[in-house]
Structure 1
């Protein structure tokens, strides 16, 4: 029986090969990536449900003093 996302033994073997050859990013590579995405990752534009009250119900807006 294969794990759920694996649709064939060939795909499973490819996934195992990828996992075995995985190398974590160095701290410098991590910092470079964080700096690259910071302009679009920190202003809430991709997670409006977390950064605005637009998705709160009326009950919760009232509860938190936004209504």
Structure 2
């Protein structure tokens, strides 16, 4: 039996409304890893400058789901 994880959170991005987010993964994720993954760099005007789109994560949960199999062997 495969062990999978259901990761859910509410994401707040500056200038936007809160978004409910769900991801299924074979690897357990922490809140810090989720913050890092969702805060991606965005190119600034200068070639060397990067502005990070910082998001805040609320209501983070990582739940273990046992016995989940995927169709077609993927």
TM-score range, shorter chain: under 0.3
Structure with greater proportional helix content: 1
TM normalised by structure 1 equals 0.24
TM normalised by structure 2 equals 0.22
Higher relative contact order (CA closer than 8 Å, sequence separation 6+) = 2
* Rg comparison, structure with higher value: 1
